[in-house]
Structure 1
Amino acid sequence: MPTAPQNTDELYQALEENDRRPYGRTRTVTAEELVDAAEQLAEPVPLVHALFELQEAYTYGSEPRKSPVVFARLLNLFDEQPDVFDERRRHTLFWRFKWVADALRVLPEIPLAGLRQWLTEMRDRYEKAGLGLQPYYGQAYQLAAHIGEGTTLAYELWAGRSRTGLSDCEACEICERALYHLAAGDDERALNDWEPVLAGKESCQEEPARSVSYALLPLLRSGRLDRARELHLAGYRNCRRNPSMSGEVGRHLEFCALTGNEARGLELLAENRNLFGEVDSPLDLFDFLTGTEVLLQRVEALGHGELPAAGYAGRTWTVAGLRAEVRGRADDLAARFDARNGTTAHTDRRRARLDRAPLVDALELTLRTRGLDEVAPAAPVAAPAARTAAEVPESLPELILRARTLDEQGHPDARACWAKLRTLAASRDYAHPDDPAVGPLAQLRADLLSDEASRTGEKDEFAEAAALHEEAAGLYEDAGAPGDAAVARACALLATAEIPAEISAEGAEGAGSADGADDADGADGAGGADGAGGAAVKAAALDAAHAAMVRLHEEASGLAPHQEARLLRLRATALGMRLQTSGDEAHVAPVLAEADLLLAFATRHDLGGQISGALLLRATTHALSGDLPAAVTVIDGVLDRLKAHGPAWHLPRTLALRGRIQLGLRDAQAAQADLAEGLRLAADWPADVVDTARLHADLAEVCMHLGRPDEALRHLTRSAELELRRGSRTDAYCAYSNAAQLCLDLGRVEDCIALLDSLLAEPDVAAGEVDDRLVAQLRLTRARALHTGEDLKAATTEFVALAAESAGWDDDPGSHVMIAAETAVLLGESGEFGRAREAAEQAIAAHARAPRYEQLSGCLRELARLQAERQGSEGLADARAHLADAGRIADEARAAEYEAQGRSLDTALAYEHGRVNAYAGEYEDALAALGKALALLGEPTPEKGEDHAGEWAECVRLTAAVEGIYLERPAPALNRLDAAVSRLTALGHTEEAEPLSSLANRLRDGE
């Protein structure tokens, strides 16, 4: 707090500001300072308010030891100066007797006699004040349930009494009743009791998050898996990282452990590592630690005790080490509670949780399902393949020769051989074979560098790939292998050409084709450069690379057939990529000519992989030139050849290309069939070799065209996870971003948020190693999901942060317009119109540099509506100011000949003038504005469609309401409505006519 309040007005303002803060140390410390400031003012009423605020901060900030101390001061003030407590303050005081009872119960150092003495004090005070005793009996039952003795009688004494004004809220009492039945083993009755809370009909500060955490396991036991999954996602988000809800977090961790989601459990534990040090309530800590131990015990039982785990600060933990620490602390807490209570209830409850077997083998909780093998930080690994790879020879000479033979063929199993050789050659005791057939050590090192360069190029790291290829070329020359050196240098030329304007992730296919015959589709997928200037630079670089390759080929001597074929393939690939980069029809013929050279050479030497590669290059070239039927004809021939002669690993990519071309021909069914078959065949090969991730991404697009968005979502998430496994993290995050947006579009809000939370918690994202705009997109989608999920506070916080960051995006002011505009609307929905105006001003300023007419106009109109609706006539001036700005935007759009996607900006503005004036009670102005809106809209016609009819009908309805109800002119309003109903009915828009008929009937009844 910068300066202490100097008077009561400043104190009350500071208390109000603090009340808006989330519970935690900042709010608590401020509340303590405000109590000090209130004492200096020497006025009892402000001090009472400050003490109430401080006790609330302690209670919901998980500091139960301090709450009773503050309440004691309040009780003394009440006894000494009862007149200070008006009816509202008196109610608050007696309500908080229960808070003190809760606080004392969670502290094992408080003797049982002390707990009972406090309940006696509460009863005496209530009786003296003439208050009903149901709240007292509620606390007596909770103590009995805590101790584990006398619960049945205590429950009946409480549950059988009528509620009073000081009873716990309905949601909390529902939870207590459900927990009683749950403890008795009656899951169904507990769930029936819980339903109003779980359905969101009853809620409070702690509910439904508390009830959800307890209901998860009963839902599993009753077979309601989808409901349990849904509630886990929503419930966890409402309690995570919250010290006062650490017990709830512990039960969510337990839920993960018992549903085959141990990896998610560890992820959530890491997200809540703050709870190890911030929870001051021993009972809440006991619940959290027990749930944590259930998770850690399960992970260790599955053989992953060595995995890293997030635990207490100050040291690095493994699962096994943290479990031992947690077990000791939780056992100690259980013993302390049982010693205080004189029972074994806490030890027994803890043992029951730890002994519980998994309830479901595998319940998919999130769209990003991962196993424990993927938790440990390690080098990315390829997805397991269904086909058993060819056995890697044990003999070192055989292994080297086998790797080279497979590499010449472009066979996927070459990578396994190179991987084993890389490990062997890196060992200190490696001894290279003295075998002329194997060649010198320099040749093997060159082979390994070439393989590394190929994998580096697939990650779009072109500069490094080029350097590795050059280094390999030098070693090949030293080893007396000039043909291999020529191929390596050609690969370096292609990689270098990709550096000036790096291509998209799809363009990595071009880099792959440069490195070997395993890439069947050559130039297919090469991305364009950024912007026309970048495309020209890129095309020129590829042209130069091709010319250099031709010279290199002409000057090379003693080339083996497979080496010469690779050079021809690289030449053709360079021209294919130039065509895709430039889109110039003049570049089509050179690609086809190079493809024909490769095809003739490969056919003469019976090089199957290069034959199919040449044919597919032809097909891709036809596709790029717009001749899709010719492309399909060529591909059909390739498929026939591959099925008859192989190589089999080219089939998935070939089918994928045909699927994409079929989609271009608008035959989504045929595309789906090809891609699905490609995906089926891809299961026989390593995912990175046949690009299974791309197949899933293409299938996602096709499924969207077929109207199967849920299936598309599954393919998108699978594509993203495969990209992540092979180390293409940017591509993975982009795919996941698309999945999250689709999730939001489908209304799966909690799935969307859970997915994005998981991504944003990734170490490289948290460390700022991922592109800041990509991360901003993930956060923006999450903020929109929070807004859709009606978590307005969290959504606004995120939008405000994004608006501040995007203000510095000088290269992208248009995005700042969008973010600032959305932020302004959210602030308006929160009633913070001053801050909303500031955000709108930011959007207006950025719009001057990058116009976003429709977005900005919509923002300003919505702010005007919100302010008029919330503030009535008092907000009219500000609302009209927003509309004036929207009017200037509409003028700019008209001058720029901008056409809105929906109704025109002028029409929308006129309609909003009508609504705003109606909200403010300016009905004549409202009627005039709505008349203008109707004129601009024009009456519905068969050509204008259903959407236009709906907008027109709503405008007529509002006009008639203003005219007939507020201006008390029913006759013209009825004429308007009857004419509109007739017109809409004649056009078949009966649904749109219903509200107008209803209003007309209301007006006639009024007459």
Structure 2
Amino acid sequence: MPTAPHPQTTDELLQALQANGERPYGRTRTVAAEELAEAAEQFAEPVPLIHALLELQEAYTYGSEPRKSPVVFARLLTLFDERPDVFDERLRHLLFWRFKWVANALRALPEIPLASLRQWLTEMRDRYTKAELDLQPYYGQAYQLAAHTGEDTALAYELWAARSRSRLSDCEACEICERARYHLTAGDDERALRAWEPVLAGKESCQEEPARSISYALLPLLRTGRSDEARALHLAGYRGCRRNASMAGEIGRHLEFCALTGNEARGLELLAENRTLFDEVESPRDLLDLLTGVEVLLQRVERLGHGELPAAGFTGRAWTVSGLRAEVRDRADDLAGRFDTRNGTTAHSDHRRARLDRAPLLEGLELTLRTRGLDDVTPAVRNAPAAAPVTARAAAAVPDTLPELILRARALGEQGHPDAEACWARLRTLVAARDYSHPDDPAVGTLVRLYADLLDDEAARAGYKDEHAEAAALHEEAAGLYEDAGLPGHAALAHACAVLAAAELPARDAGDGGADGARAPHADGSGAPGAAVDATGARGDGEAAARTAALTAAHASLVRLHEETSPLAPHQEARLLRLRATALGLRLQTSGSEEHVAAVLAEIDRLHAFATRHDIVGQIAGARLLKATTHAMTGDLPAALAETGDLLDRLKEHGPAWHLPRTHALRGRLHLGLGDAQAAHADLTEGLRLAADWPDGTVDTSLHADLAQACVHLGRPDEALRHLTRSAELNLRAGARVDAYCAYDSAAQLSLGLGRVEDSIALLDSLLAEPDVTSGELDDRLVAQLRLTRARALHTGEDLKAATAEFVSLAAESAGWADDPGSHAMIAAETAVLLAESGEFDRAREAVDQALAAHARDPRFENLSNALRELARLQAEQQGPDGLSGARAFLADAGRVAEEARTAGYEVQGRPLDAALAFEHGRVNAYAGAYEDSLTALDRALGLLGEPGPEPARAGEWAESVRLAGVVEGVYLERPAPALTRLDAAITRLTALGHTEPVRELTALAARLRDEE
């Protein structure tokens, strides 16, 4: 199938070639180049054909198809020999430059005889000599052939390196890489790294650099003790070559780096991300480099005892690490042998063996924010939650005898004791065994009752994971077994849990939940109270109403169950009362209605009174936790704080101790809500310390997320980052993948704010490669959030092309979010700014028009105003007077947005919109040379801002307006006297207020104007 319409004129052909040149290298670009080369044959003019053949050779070269590149060049050379007059200076330069491409392609093909390689170099030398061109490029290719064969390299290197560079020499970055690799082969790491310094520091670059040099420099950096630099370069360098068939060898070296630094799990992740290269790489030399790196990784994983792990390999079958390693070894050995046979040396086999024989250089270098070991990878590869490191203590030892174990599990379960789970887990294993024999003990009861107990525990665990449908079904099944066992109280309690679990379902039908904030209280009261928010934002009115009605009905059902069931043991009646209070608490949380407050408080008081009368300490604590949560939901945070303070005093005296970490966690959240980050940090830290006394899962994983929030407020970003990643790991372990992804996204955003751009991108790349993301199982809005954060990170990392492509894609997708036009407005506005940065103002105008249309349905005043002003600045800055009309159109839109915000009573978080707009009018007009208009606008901005005060931010904005007005008036309008009057007055005012930095800038401008007078 053709990839584009067939060009009918040479102009259309040249336009199509230009458009194809903007595509990424790969099959799509190559196929289009082939079609365009074929189309060029129809024209009588040779120049369009030359351009088409040059594009085709480039596509083959950078698309890893070395067999085809020399054939195309041969056609170009024939055209040159026949019609040298049609090759202008540029085309002639390109032709002679690409002699090197052909030499490189021939070296990559073991079926090409060595004599043919040398013959081609002779042809290159003769052609250069005839054209009176410097021979340094020829000697460079002669050295590369010597290095490839492993013979006479020292002499060849001197003949090349001692010569001065010429116009046809490889770029400085590529030549640096060759010189550094020569020293590396000689065993001189330090000298190689000194040679590489300009490339690794970003001072020299090209299409393949610095990614190529980075891949070679990683191990020397480790060997010379520069592990932090190696880590940073691995992150940046890998991103520069990922999924790129022409850089397969570089990817292989990154896999090797992972294997030798204790990052085998990351290596397997990167291997999976690049699995298509096994079939895409057509260059035998690049494939050999890739396969050797893959084998280094797989060999290491196998030696660590994980040969049975799944591994991403050649298409057509499922691979284990051991199976893929054997396949890779055979193929790589064959390739190395073919090169050595052609070259008459053992250089390739020797080099391959040296790589495979390397010992690990570091036990464990933390490469990413998501550090995992091979034990963690096993379930992740199979699309199950990965394990997280254990920090809490293990559960207490379970009894040895079966009757004791059963009775112990029930007793602990009645108390809500965290150690009950270990007993139930042990019982599940024993009962599932074929030889299980139930004790004949009246105290233990029947096997049917034990089955019911296990089902009830399984249901509770499903509820903790928000799997409410499964929880309801399991509770009902348990209730039936309890009835069969003649235990009506137990059956009633199981029915009650099923009722509440079923009432939770309407809120979860729209997608995964729990993305932000703490879990709601669970049916048995074991969860930490808090506000549950779904992954896509607040629930819709219809959904909230349905859930409110369901919870009202559930409460009525629970009351009936309570009244109709008799007798109930005190602990059973307390749990039923707890469920009644929980149902009303969830209803209040859903509706937010004041009319629901009194009912939930009455149920809590009923529970508290009953638990106190019967001295059920766990339920007393649970009632007070629910009361504190209810106060928090109604906005009475001081009352909630007082309740938790009293509860902590009681827990320290009467217990149960396992409620202490949960209460400290809630108290920490309340301090956060009251703006006391220091007190929040103290409570949350204490909660975390106390949680270590209990098994994992006793305390909600949001404790770490809350601690991260407190750390951010306290200016401790690195500590916050650790807590966010820990929160994500614990959520993964608990199977709460949505919560985990949200925590990781927050970590990526925080990392970006800290300037750790590559860390942020690497983390997001890892998440976006997860099976439940790639298969479309994860909520699409959450995936969009991860992509949005990654696009912003790419933009911050100055990868404008990749960032813009992602934003354009997200803008197209979010246009279909009928339920969330506001998010589309923000994404489209941000997309417009990136398009403008690339000079694509027509497309930027289209994108911002989409943003304005979405904003009309769901306003985003400040975001859109900021974007429109930035668009105006970019157009005026890039296009000068020619861009003034378009820039002013953007500002007119921003003016309407500001007017809408004023009418709506919107309170901005940053600069007042009118003042910011007036300043932008001043700047835009200045860029376009409309200086009088600029000065008028800046005076208006100063009037809107008012006099500066003690706040540094406001003083800085005011001073910048004064500075720009001084430049326009004193420099461009050549009126230094009034400009100096303006500046001197501002300097006096700011000095009196103690704003030293703005004063310094204004003083410098004033001195400049006085010098020019």
Q: Which position in structure 2 is the counterpart of 1:515?
A: 524
Identity across the alignment (%): 77
Matched, 1:481 2:490: no
Partners of 2:651 and 2:887 lie apart in 1 by: 69
Equivalences for residues 451-600 of structure 1 within 5 A = 451-501=457-507, 504=514, 510-512=520-522, 514-515=523-524, 518=526, 523=529, 530=539, 538=547, 541-581=550-590, 594-595=603-604, 597-599=606-608
Indicate which of 1002, 1010, 1013 corresponds to 1:996.
Answer: 1002
How far apart, in 1, do the equivalents of 2:435 and 2:1008 lie?
95
Cα 1:615–1:359 shift into 2, 3 Å: same
**Contact 1:209-1:248 within 8 A present in 2 as well:** yes
One-letter amino acid of the structure 1 residue matched with residue 621 of structure 2 = S
Of residues 200-209 and 550-559 in structure 1, the stretch that sits farther from structure 2 once superposed is 550-559
The 2-side partners of 1:949 and 1:564 are apart by 64
Q: Which moved more, 1:296-305 or 1:652-661?
A: 652-661
Deviation track 1:294-314 (CA, whole Å, cap 9, x = no partner) reads 111111111111111100011
Distance 1:495 1:80 in 2: 83
Match of 1:815 in 2: 823
What is the Cα deviation at residue 21 of structure 1?
0.5
The structure-2 alpha-carbon separation of the partners of 1:451 and 1:323, relative to structure 1 and needing over 3 Å to count, comes to same
Task: Determine the structure 2 residue equivalent to 1:783.
Answer: 791
Is the 2:825–2:854 Cα contact (8 Å) retained in structure 1? yes
**Change in 2 beyond 3 A, CA 1:336/1:481:** same
Counterpart in the other structure of 2:685: 676
Q: Say if 2:306 and 2:321, in contact at 8 Å, map to a contact too.
A: yes
Q: Secondary structure at the match of 2:110?
A: coil
C-alpha contact 2:517 2:533 (8 A) present in aligned 1: yes
d(CA) in 2 for partners of 1:624 and 1:232? 47
Tell me whether 1:195 sits opposite 2:197 in the alignment. yes
Residue 232 (structure 1) aligns with: 234
AA matched with 1:717? T
The Cα of 1:494 is off from its aligned counterpart by 2.4
- 2:658 corresponds in structure 1 to 649
- Counterpart of 1:941 in structure 2 is 948
Deviation at 1:587, TM superposition (A): 5.8
Deviation at 1:8, TM superposition (A): 1.7
Give yes or no for the alignment of 1:169 onto 2:153. Answer: no
Q: TM-score, normalised by structure 2?
A: 0.93
Q: Partners in 1 of 2:88 and 2:540 — Cα distance?
A: 70
Distance 2:594 2:138 in 1: 86
Q: What whole-Å deviation, never above 9, does each CA across 1:811-859 have from its counterpart, x for those lacking one?
A: 1111111111111111111112221121112112212212223322332
Do the aligned residues in 2 keep the contact of 1:393 with 1:399 (CA within 8 Å)?
yes
Aligned to 1:346: 348
- CA 643–148 in structure 1, closer or farther in 2 if over 3 Å, else same: farther
Which deviates more from structure 2 when the two are superposed, residues 870-879 or residues 368-377? 870-879
Equivalent residue in structure 2 for 1:910, among 907, 911, 918? 918
User: What is the correspondence of 1:594-609 to structure 2 with a 5 Å cutoff?
Assistant: 594-595=603-604, 597-599=606-608, 601-602=610-611, 605-609=614-618
Distance 1:684 1:336, change over 3 A: farther
Q: CA deviation at 1:206?
A: 0.4
- Cα deviation for residue 630 of structure 1 reads 5.9
1 CA distance for matches of 2:387 and 2:220? 38
- SS of the residue aligned with 1:515? coil
Moved more, 32-41 or 378-387: 378-387
Q: Quick check: 1:840 aligned with 2:848?
A: yes
Q: Deviations over 1:928-973 (max 9, x none)?
A: 44444344344x3326x33333233333333333344334444444
Aligned equivalents of 1:201, 1:918: Cα separation in 2 = 33
Shift of 1:800: 0.5
Does the CA-based 8 Å contact 1:382-1:688 persist in structure 2? no
Contact 2:143 2:157 (8 Å CA) reproduced: yes
Deviates more, 1:574-583 or 1:796-805: 574-583
Corresponding residue for residue 155 of structure 2 = 153
Structure 1 residues 585 and 815, CA gap change in structure 2 (3 angstroms): closer
2:207 to 205, 208, 213: 205
Larger deviation: 41-50 or 620-629? 620-629
Say if 2:772 is the partner of 1:764.
Answer: yes
Query: 5 Å matches for 1:78-117?
Result: 78-117=80-119
- 1:321 is matched with which residue: 312, 320, 323? 323
Structure 2 Cα separation of the partners of residues 694 and 114 of structure 1:
67
1:665-814 matched pairs, under 5 angstroms: 665-691=674-700, 693-814=701-822
User: Which has the higher mean CA deviation after the structures are superposed, 328-337 or 541-550?
Assistant: 541-550
Equivalent position to 2:669, from 660, 680, 688:
660
CA distance in 1: counterparts of 2:811 and 2:73, whole angstroms:
42
Moved more, 977-986 or 164-173: 977-986
Deviation sequence 1:782-833 (CA, Å, 0-9, x none)? 1111111110011011000111111111111111111111111111111122
Distance 1:275 1:145, change over 3 A: same
Give CA deviations for 1:724-776 in whole Å, capped at 9, x if unaligned: 11111111112122222212222211111111111111111111111111111
* Change in 2 beyond 3 A, CA 1:37/1:539: closer
Task: State the distance in 2 between where 1:709 and 1:699 align.
Answer: 11
The range that moved more, 484-493 or 639-648, is 639-648
Q: Given that residues 977 and 1000 in structure 1 are in contact (C-alpha distance below 8 angstroms), is that contact kept between their aligned partners in structure 2?
A: yes
TM-aligned CA distance change 1:636 to 1:947, over 3 Å: closer
Quote the Cα distance in structure 1 between the aligned partners of 2:1003 and 2:392: 64
> For 1:240, what is the secondary structure of its paired residue?
coil
Distance 1:734 1:333, change over 3 A: same
Q: Secondary structure at the match of 1:460?
A: coil
Query: Taking structure 1 as reference, are residues 589 and 927 closer, same or farther at Cα in structure 2, changes over 3 Å only?
Result: closer
Please state how far the C-alpha of 1:443 moved relative to its aligned partner.
2.0
Whether the aligned pair in 1 keeps the contact of 2:949 and 2:955 (CA below 8 Å) is no
Task: Identify if the C-alpha distance between structure 1 residues 85 and 453 changes in structure 2 by more than 3 Å, giving closer, same or farther.
Answer: same
Alpha carbons 2:962, 2:986 under 8 Å: kept = yes
Distance 2:649 2:679 in 1: 17
> Residue type matched to 2:734 in 1?
R
Question: What displacement does 1:507 show?
Answer: 8.8
Determine helix, strand or coil for the equivalent of 2:164. Answer: coil
8 Å CA contact 1:865, 1:912 repeated in 2: yes
Shift of residue 148 of structure 1?
A: 1.5
Q: 1:453 to 1:990 in 2, by over 3 A?
A: same
SS state of the match for residue 333, structure 1? helix
1:955 to 954, 961, 966: 961
Post-superposition Cα deviations, 1:896-936, rounded to whole Å, max 9, x if no partner, equal 34444333333333333333333333344434444443443
After superposition, residues 42-441 of structure 1 pair within 5 angstroms as 42-377=44-379, 380=385, 383=388, 384=390, 386-392=392-398, 396-426=402-432, 432-441=438-447
Deviations 1:5-36 (A, max 9, x none): 12221111111111110011111111111111
Distance in 1 of aligned mates of 2:541 and 2:284: 65
Q: Which moved more, 1:813-822 or 1:174-183?
A: 174-183
Gap change, CA 1:729 and 1:94, over 3 Å in 2: same
Inter-partner Cα distance in structure 2 for 1:271 and 1:116: 38
State the Cα distance separating 1:678 from its structure 2 match.
2.3
Q: Which TM-score applies when normalising by structure 1?
A: 0.94
Separation in structure 1 between the aligned mates of residue 757 and residue 516 of structure 2, nearest angstrom: 30
Task: Give deviations 1:454-478, integer Å, cap 9, x for gaps.
Answer: 1111122323322322222122111
Indicate if the aligned counterparts of 2:67 and 2:105 stay in contact, CA closer than 8 A: yes
Offset at residue 427 of structure 1 (A): 5.7
Are 2:376 and 2:386, in contact at CA under 8 Å, matched by a contact in 1?
no
- Aligned Cα root-mean-square deviation (Å): 2.7
Structure 1 runs not aligned, ≥5 long: none
| 1:825-904 to 2 correspondences below 5 Å | 825-904=833-912
Say if 2:385 and 2:737, in contact at 8 Å, map to a contact too.
Answer: no
Change (3 A) 1:586 1:902: closer
1:10 aligns with 2:16: no
